[in-house]
């Protein structure tokens, strides 16, 4: 039996209607931007395997560091104990973040990083004796799949089944030149009811690679600041170079109070989540009163192997070559976007740094469930390119080491698709 056949009998896949899903493609190994399948085909991983793999697959440097760590300390409980990789990662990461971040709280993935951030904000106000109940978020946001993270995400077919169990959130539209004044008035009217504002800076990922201006986000953040609303930057997707700068909040004047990081954090090697905060937040929990403790943790909090993978990924990330790659990919995306500009089959072309999104003209049927999405997905797979369209939106989010020839090949295939589909 093939991997795909064995899989079918025993595995249930994420975000997949198993009834009409195509057989899963068995991957036997991967290197650089390439995935190698059991049936012999090679795929260019144009979406960095769900946006995590920033330095390419099976990177020898990360592999070497992880393998050495495995032989000295694979894991240790993180309550009452600590270890070198966790301390060093916090020491090295905090100074890289925009503004002033002082403490790292470890967890397992992007959703848990968001849960921790929300709990920090809610309890911050409780501990201060001035409880604030409401949370502000963008209507098309995506912050993860656990219940808190779902609650602050836009309501969609992903969340429909759980709607009655999600807590109420104040949703606002993305800021535009036209609505910014109204959005600010709304925030001001909510005032001290708002505990925090959680946002994906510059690009709403799963919501459809929706992009908006840093200057407008700055205006919203400044308005929140006036009401002392805590600011949570969910950089789970945008962090570590995606938008062309190390962090998307690097484009802003205002600095967040809290950051959520995951995805690219370990270079796509291991699951790991980080929530960072300022000393001001930390100090609201620092008390002789046990009730002011942040009662949150996971079995694998700050797993040493995951922290080591993150340190190795950070070594690669800060190399000048990586910065050049970000620039190189951004420039090529921009040139390709300019070439496609005005194409009749496209409703919109958007780019921020290494992310390029093309929205297909569909007429009426734009839902995630539309047949177009599946056609595009298989069309590119047949041509050796892994993309996962979000409905009628295809996007590129490649590993930074992708070669110019591979990018050029992908662009050519996109032009071909625009002509044929
Ligand atoms: C993917 C994502 C999450 C959730 O991360 P998981 O590791 O999948 O739980 C949260 N926020 C953003 C912006 C994301 O893109």
The residue extents of the domains of the chain are: 3-59+320-420, 62-318
CATH 3.20.20.70, applies to 3-59+320-420: no
The protein residue with its alpha carbon nearest to ligand 1, atom 11, reads 143
User: Can you point out the beta strands (E) in 51-144?
Assistant: 103-107, 134-138
Q: How many whole angstroms separate alpha carbon 282 and alpha carbon 280?
A: 6
- What pLDDT does 421 receive? 87
In sequence order, the β-bridge partners of residue 44 are 34, 385
Are 274 and 234 within 8 A, CB to CB?
no
- What pLDDT does 370 receive? 64
CATH 3.40.640.10, applies to 62-318: yes
Alpha helices (H) in 141-213, listed in sequence order? 147-151, 180-190
Tell me if residue 327 is catalytic: no
Tell me if residue 218 is catalytic: no
Q: How many whole angstroms separate alpha carbon 37 and alpha carbon 326?
A: 28
Token reading at 130: 């001035």
Ligand 1 centre distance from Cα of residue 144 (Å): 5
Residue ranges in the chain modelled with pLDDT below 50: 368
Are 138 and 174 within 8 A, CB to CB?
yes
Q: Is the CB of 238 under 6 A from ligand 1?
A: no
- Count CB neighbours of 37 within 10 A: 18
**Three-state SS at 206:** coil
Ligand 1 centre distance from Cα of residue 2 (Å): 31
The protein residue with its alpha carbon nearest to ligand 1, atom 8, reads 110
* Residue 119 phi, psi dihedral angles, 5° rounding: -60, -40
Q: Is the CB of 207 under 6 A from ligand 1?
A: no
* Residue 33 phi, psi dihedral angles, 5° rounding: -85, 5
- What pLDDT does 369 receive? 52
- What pLDDT does 364 receive? 66
Tell me if residue 142 is catalytic: yes
Are 373 and 387 within 8 A, CB to CB?
no
- What pLDDT does 366 receive? 53
Q: How many whole angstroms separate alpha carbon 169 and alpha carbon 228?
A: 18
Ligand 1 centre distance from Cα of residue 237 (Å): 7
In sequence order, the β-bridge partners of residue 230 are 196
Decide the pairing of beta strands 34-37 and 27-31.
Answer: antiparallel
Tell me if residue 295 is catalytic: no
Are 21 and 13 within 8 A, CB to CB?
yes
**DSSP state, residue 343:** -
> Which atom of ligand 1 is found nearest the CA of 234?
13
- Count CB neighbours of 161 within 10 A: 8
Q: How many whole angstroms separate alpha carbon 68 and alpha carbon 273?
A: 22
Contacts of 110 (CB under 8 A, 6+ apart): 143, 144, 149, 234, 236, 237, 260, 262, 263, 273
Domains 3-59+320-420 and 62-318 equal at CATH topology level:
no
The protein residue with its alpha carbon nearest to ligand 1, atom 7, reads 110
Ligand-binding annotation for 299, yes or no, is yes
- What pLDDT does 51 receive? 98
- What pLDDT does 371 receive? 85
Annotated catalytic residue, options 234, 395, 406, 411: 234
Token reading at 223: 């308005």
């Amino acid at each position: 039996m093939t991997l795909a056949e064995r899989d079918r009998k025993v595995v249930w896949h994420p975000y997949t209607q198993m009834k009409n899903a195509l057989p899963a493609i068995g991957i036997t190994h991967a290197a650089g931007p390439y995935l190698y399948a059991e049936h012999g085909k090679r795929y260019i991983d144009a979406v960095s395997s769900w946006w995590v793999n920033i330095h390419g697959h099976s990177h020898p440097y990360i592999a070497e560091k992880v393998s050495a760590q495995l032989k000295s300390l694979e894991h240790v409980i993180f309550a009452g104990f600590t270890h070198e990789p966790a301390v060093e990662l916090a020491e090295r990461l905090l100074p890289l973040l925009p503004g002033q971040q002082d403490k790292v709280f470890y967890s397992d993935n992007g959703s848990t990083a968001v849960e921790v951030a929300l709990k920090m904000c809610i309890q911050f106000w409780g501990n201060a004796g001035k409880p604030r109940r409401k949370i502000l978020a963008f209507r098309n946001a995506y912050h993860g799949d656990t219940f808190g993270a779902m609650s602050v995400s836009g309501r969609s077919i992903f969340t429909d089944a759980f709607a009655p169990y999600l807590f109420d959130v104040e949703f606002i539209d993305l800021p535009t030149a036209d609505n910014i004044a109204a959005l600010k008035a709304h925030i001001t009217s909510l005032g001290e009811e708002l505990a925090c504002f959680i946002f994906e800076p510059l690009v709403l990922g799963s919501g459809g690679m929706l992009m908006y201006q840093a200057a407008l986000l700055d205006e919203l953040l400044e308005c929140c600041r006036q009401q002392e609303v805590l600011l949570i930057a969910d950089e789970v997707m945008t962090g570590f170079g995606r938008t062309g700068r190390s962090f998307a909040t690097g484009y802003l004047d205002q600095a967040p109070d809290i950051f959520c990081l995951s995805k690219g954090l370990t270079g796509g090697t291991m699951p790991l989540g980080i929530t960072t905060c300022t000393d001001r937040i930390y100090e609201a929990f620092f008390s002789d009163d046990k009730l002011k403790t942040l009662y949150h943790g996971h079995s694998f909090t700050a797993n040493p192997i995951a922290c080591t993978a993150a340190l190795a990924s950070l070594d690669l990330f800060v190399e000048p070559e990586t910065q050049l790659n970000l620039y190189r990919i951004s420039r090529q995306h921009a040139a390709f976007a300019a070439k496609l500009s005005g194409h009749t089959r496209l409703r919109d072309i958007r780019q921020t740094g290494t992310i390029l999104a093309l929205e297909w003209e569909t007429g009426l049927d734009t839902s995630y469930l539309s047949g177009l999405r599946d056609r595009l997905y298989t069309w590119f797979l047949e041509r050796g390119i892994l993309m996962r369209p979000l409905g009628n939106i295809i996007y590129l989010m490649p590993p930074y080491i992708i070669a110019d020839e591979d990018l050029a090949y992908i662009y050519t295939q996109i032009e071909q698709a625009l002509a044929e589909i």
